[in-house]
Structure 1
Amino acid sequence: MTEKQQAGDSYWLQSTPGGRHLALTDDVEVDVAVIGGGIAGLCTARELSRAGRSVAVLEAGRIAAGVTGHTTAKVTALHTLVYDKLRRTRGSEGARLYARSQSEAIEHTAGVVAELGVDCEWERRSAYTFVRDESQVEELRAEARAAREAGLPASFVTATGLPFPVAGAVEVADQVQFHPRKYLLALADDILAHGGRIHEDTTVLGLEEGTPCRLSTSTGAMVTARDVVVATHYPVFDRALLFTRLSPRRELVVAGPIPAAQDPGGMYITTEENTRSVRTAPYGEDGTRRFLIVTGEHFTPGTGDTRARFDRLAAWARGHFPDVELTHRWATQDNDPTDTVPLVGPLHPGARHTYVATGFGGWGMSGGMMAGLLLTAQIMGEEREWSGLYDPRRLASTVREAPSFLKHQAQVAKHFVGDRMRPSPPVEALPPGEGAVVRVEGGRLAVYRDEDGTLHALSARCTHMGCLVDFNAAERAWECPCHGSRFDTEGKVIQGPATRPLDRRDI
């Protein structure tokens, strides 16, 4: 893997291509329309179809190929350092409900894997949050106590399977790692077997709430549904103003085979060094190797040198696992809620038949599984004990987390105004394979020069809310730093919340 190698499809996508589902071409009427074919959407659709509801999944691209297809796929209720914070902001009961909801979702999924006989590399492992800095040990001890009080089998340890010493770690045993795409493709088959519909290449453009609700799509077909679930990772509808409470975060992944004897034997994460996460997966037929997955270098989309970040992450992986052969590099993205807890439930205060699942803060595997159970219960007219914890309409916790909220809004304002003031490079200075936002006749254009030297010019204004995009050279994509929308070099949307492409321009 060289410096100039571009980030590509994840190992999960390459190892499990899967089939395709036809775009929606005719009007359809169902009980529930689920917008988004990632883990939250497919888990919800599967539970609802099993409960006898007619369901249609509408995915703008391919199912299980967006954020879920690029995850590190750790399925655990230990979410870095969440429990001590929850104990302070939501009380002991809030922390307990968080732990219970995540754990119940994991065990429910274990039952689904067994019931369907899914060969998705489901492996039980301990999860660890670790530090190497002695000054951070007390924080870890507090997290271990809080997680234990919340009901998790958590303990503070100083010995791990990592190839370097740690100052301390929180360990929770009997957690899970798996192949997310193999699991979700099996869920898709089960949805179809129970009368559900799945349509790829179908972008939902409009939502008319009512009894029933109506959705307009990019194909021209209309969907009528009693209930609608917005599971698009970042909500594509702004009526709930959830964009003010979500901060997009992108992380990089480098991966490749190592000798099985060097497997650290668990799932590890630290907030040090701008985040480092380590796990392995099965690899090959003879059991002599494992597939090492190292994640880190988190950043706001559309900011900084992503190639340099990949180089730092690769150097860290080689430094600690010298026998690794790095064969893959990709990136993933998630949204951090300003008050720590995901937003799962009614879309807005006046919503009666519209629901949302978002803000998983880097823990979308257990969070998406939990969302499937919670939203299914609510659509069926029931409630879970932990419904209130995740309710997007909550206000008290938002007030408590006002500093995070204000910091996020300040960053958005900084990009919205400041990015329009930054210097513009000359178009003729762009080398092949590079892009930049340039000033042309007083306006800003996003200009990319392809390997043949041809220039491709687009409006630099994100079609979501008008922030200026910036170029990610490692992934050859235009990214919005305000809310995380991403576009390819032709302007096509590759990640929302934007639903419309960047407008083409002449140059």
Structure 2
Amino acid sequence: MATIHNSDSTAGTSPRDGALPSVWQQLSGARPQATIADATDQLWDVIVVGAGITGLTTALRLQEAGLDCVVAEAHQVGFGTTGGTTAHINTMLDTPYHTIESDFGEDGARLVAAATRVGIDTVARNVATYQLDCDFEYKDGVLFAETEQEAELLDKIFSAAQRAGVDVAPTASLSIPLHFHKAIVFHRQAQMHPLKYVYGLADRFVMRGGILLENTHVEDTAYDDGYHRVQTSNGLLRARRLVYATHVPPGLNILHLRCAPYRSYVLAVRIENGNYPDDLVYDMKDPYHYFRTHTIDGVPYLIVGGADHKTGHGDAHAAFRELEAYVRKHFKVSSVEYRWSAQYFEPTDGLPYIGKLPGGDEDTYVATGFSGNGIVLGSFSGMLLTDVILGAENPYEKLFSPSRIKPIAGFASFLKENADVAYRFVADRVHINQLNELAELPSGTGTVVNYEKQQIAVYKSYEGEVIALSPVCTHAGCIVAWNDAEKSWDCPCHGGRYDVRGNVLSGPPRKGLQPISLVHD
């Protein structure tokens, strides 16, 4: 019997950007203390938008370098993907080294491998320096092939990883009960409890004089007289420099055409025979499955992820069913304790974009396109962004620069044409008795329905309340799709996500979905 921990997304606040809490959220009394102070009365050196692993790593490093920093988080620390990650910290990236070598040369591949080592070392150093109790452990990471065809690809991955300087070797053992043809082991990988870690970073940032503002949504930005004016839900902030640590930046930017949003699905299960793997383990399916064990309050969990698909394009319930069937096929599962999904952004050329925001205002910085490697690359980004902001030389700056993107003909026109497309929805009132689909809509679900040649996003709560919204994403005008598992409206174009009332959960939109009044005749 599956025991799933759920939360009602219609409640006042959500612990993360979806209705399904992750295994990490069973923490109690461990949340960092946000700053209770007026941050609007001074000119800051840096405003960092986003309090996940990228934003907090960057803000802490900048604060310790002597800059006065404020972190503005729309929700709470770790609310986004950091609270939904499986926290594999590895030198083995989703983009294999032979692909990196082909696209960026052998020197580029070696730099990427070194960057992953920097990311792991950054986490380890923070844990040691700040004495963070976050279950950090070094582990081996094992990639295995189940067929001859996969074994041939594995050989390419192995050889290129060795050339790049990665600590990798063949292995004849696998700590999960699957048949395999060949396997390789990446040494000195790591894992941790991601929320304990970022909560610790947040506390240290505040202890060193940084300002942490939660529930502070950035609504608009402008740049004049040498500083950024950042209008938030809690007042106006001003700073000389602005960092977007929000996955993709808000507004319309060329990076939205270079980063595709995906969702990955995760189960945390208990096993009857106690045969939990000690390694980080990955198969070579497409999409691949990834495995690890984590013990929380003395209870071990097998954490398995996979079934990835583009945001807004797949069936979340089907993805969970597929993943659960796969896990039960290979393990003696006694219960499924948690299930959740998380979002990541896939870069078109395989490497993240870290540095100055192309086409943005002066002194605007970004880190995005981490694929499925957000912990290691987000940690690395904190180091690289700090050096870029301080003007220090850094051997990684050119390789990861967002400016490596070639200009796209007509992009300026694209921005102009899409800037206000989200507000072309005409109806502001709808007669509820004309929405025939509502009668058959189950409680706790949503759908996009037709009304007088227009579309309307409607959600029926468990209490019977009907909420109607424009389905037009306020970012670039795409039509959102209902995510029934996470109880959210997801944009299939650039990954914007909204809760059932249209409030922005994550992604590039700055404004929520337009509400529509329902008229009862």
Given the two structures, how large is their TM-score scaled by the length of structure 1?
0.89
- Displacement after TM superposition at 1:297 (Å): 0.8
Are 2:473 and 1:457 equivalent residues in the alignment?
no
Alpha-carbon distance between aligned partners in 1 of 2:404 and 2:31, rounded to the nearest angstrom: 39
- The residue aligned with 2:297 is 284
- The residue aligned with 1:9 is 21
Distance 1:2 1:112, change over 3 A: closer
- The residue aligned with 1:218 is 232
Partner amino acid, structure 1, of 2:207: A
Secondary structure of the residue aligned to 1:105 is: helix
Q: 1:298 aligns with which of 293, 299, 308?
A: 308
- The residue aligned with 2:12 is none
Are 2:47 and 1:47 equivalent residues in the alignment?
no
Alpha-carbon distance between aligned partners in 2 of 1:178 and 1:76, rounded to the nearest angstrom: 12
Kindly report the root-mean-square deviation, in angstroms, between the aligned alpha carbons of the 2 structures.
Answer: 2.4
Secondary structure of the residue aligned to 2:320 is: helix
Native 8 Å contact 2:5 2:20 kept in 1: no
- The residue aligned with 1:66 is 80
Native 8 Å contact 2:447 2:482 kept in 1: yes
Are 2:508 and 1:497 equivalent residues in the alignment?
yes
- The residue aligned with 1:443 is 454
Q: Deviations over 1:57-90 (max 9, x none)?
A: 0000111121101000011111145201011010
Native 8 Å contact 2:220 2:232 kept in 1: no
Alpha-carbon distance between aligned partners in 2 of 1:200 and 1:264, rounded to the nearest angstrom: 37
Native 8 Å contact 1:254 1:328 kept in 2: yes
Q: 1:174 aligns with which of 175, 188, 192?
A: 188
Are 2:479 and 1:468 equivalent residues in the alignment?
yes
Are 2:52 and 1:35 equivalent residues in the alignment?
no
Secondary structure of the residue aligned to 2:404 is: coil
Native 8 Å contact 2:216 2:233 kept in 1: yes
Q: 1:143 aligns with which of 157, 182, 188?
A: 157
Q: Deviations over 1:238-290 (max 9, x none)?
A: 2x4210101000011110333684121111223416321111112333xxx52
- Displacement after TM superposition at 1:367 (Å): 0.3
Alpha-carbon distance between aligned partners in 2 of 1:236 and 1:264, rounded to the nearest angstrom: 40
Native 8 Å contact 1:349 1:393 kept in 2: no
- Displacement after TM superposition at 1:20 (Å): 4.9
Structure 2 unaligned spans of 5+: 8-18, 409-417, 423-434
Alpha-carbon distance between aligned partners in 2 of 1:29 and 1:204, rounded to the nearest angstrom: 17
Alpha-carbon distance between aligned partners in 1 of 2:97 and 2:21, rounded to the nearest angstrom: 33
- The residue aligned with 1:272 is 285
- Displacement after TM superposition at 1:32 (Å): 0.8
Secondary structure of the residue aligned to 1:110 is: helix
- Displacement after TM superposition at 1:22 (Å): 5.3
- Displacement after TM superposition at 1:445 (Å): 0.4
What is the 5 A alignment of 1:396-435? 426-435=437-446
Distance 1:114 1:220, change over 3 A: closer
Q: 1:76 aligns with which of 78, 90, 104?
A: 90
Q: Deviations over 1:144-178 (max 9, x none)?
A: 11111111111233421111121223321111000
Q: 1:165 aligns with which of 168, 179, 186?
A: 179
Native 8 Å contact 1:3 1:311 kept in 2: no
Native 8 Å contact 1:99 1:152 kept in 2: yes
- The residue aligned with 1:320 is 330
Q: Deviations over 1:444-477 (max 9, x none)?
A: 1001112233321110101111100111111111
Alpha-carbon distance between aligned partners in 1 of 2:291 and 2:333, rounded to the nearest angstrom: 15
- The residue aligned with 1:355 is 365
Native 8 Å contact 2:282 2:289 kept in 1: yes
Native 8 Å contact 2:4 2:337 kept in 1: no
Alpha-carbon distance between aligned partners in 2 of 1:63 and 1:360, rounded to the nearest angstrom: 19
Structure 1 unaligned spans of 5+: 400-411, 417-423
Partner amino acid, structure 1, of 2:481: D
Secondary structure of the residue aligned to 1:104 is: helix
Partner amino acid, structure 2, of 1:78: M
Distance 1:350 1:473, change over 3 A: closer
Are 2:147 and 1:133 equivalent residues in the alignment?
yes
- The residue aligned with 2:221 is 207
Native 8 Å contact 1:212 1:227 kept in 2: no
- Displacement after TM superposition at 1:428 (Å): 2.6
Identity score, percent: 34
- Displacement after TM superposition at 1:358 (Å): 0.5
Native 8 Å contact 1:255 1:326 kept in 2: yes
Alpha-carbon distance between aligned partners in 2 of 1:273 and 1:392, rounded to the nearest angstrom: 27
- Displacement after TM superposition at 1:426 (Å): 2.8
Are 2:355 and 1:345 equivalent residues in the alignment?
yes
Q: 2:118 aligns with which of 104, 107, 132?
A: 104
Distance 1:3 1:329, change over 3 A: closer
Partner amino acid, structure 2, of 1:10: S
Are 2:31 and 1:18 equivalent residues in the alignment?
yes
